[in-house]
Amino acid sequence: MTPAVKAAEKAGVDFQLHAYEHDPQAESYGREAAECLGLAPERVFKTLLAEVDGKVQVAMVPVDHSLDLKALARAVGGKKAAMVDGPRAERLTGYVLGGISPLGQKKRLPLWLDESAHRHPSLYMSAGRRGLEIEMAPADLLALTGGRLAPLAR
């Protein structure tokens, strides 16, 4: 059981776990999850870390889109945003790349969810390890993380 699953259980929100066989050769963890689970890519969200004016933020966008760093900076109320490198993202969250979940991170960081999430009854995101996705309602994710909706994808 991952910290993400424990966090969802402790919060008492409705969620489902979906496991699939992870291919270490996969070029995109998120697209792999969508394909293996037979999901539209706009329902599977990737969890990214970026720094806005020196403060680390968590941003989630659909796996078939990129994070618009300028849009994230605007949402946060900052001027400049840059991606956090992989090793630092792993240290900050306690998860490996491809398994970074917005739930159960070592330290709670501000979360920003792309506004497209509200179009779906549920979202899929990493449950804390490669090959395991957690599905829950966007409202539950926002409630659990204190996150906010913003236009982030391009």
Beta bridge mates, 49:
58
- Helices H, strands E: what count in the chain? 5, 8
CATH architecture for residues 3-150: Alpha-Beta Complex (3.90)
Q: What per-residue confidence (pLDDT) applies to 27? A: 84
Tens of pLDDT, residue by residue over 16-59, are: 999 999 998 888 899 999 999 999 999 999 999 999 999 999 99
Q: DSSP class of residue 85?
A: P
pTM: 0.94
Q: Return the DSSP state at 84.
A: P
| Interval 46-95: pLDDT, tens | 999 999 999 999 999 999 999 999 999 999 999 999 999 999 999 999 99
> Taking the mean position of all CA atoms in its chain, how far away is CA 55?
18
Least confident of 19-33, 82-96, 121-135, 137-151: 19-33
Q: HSE on the CB side for 64, CA within 13 Å? A: 9
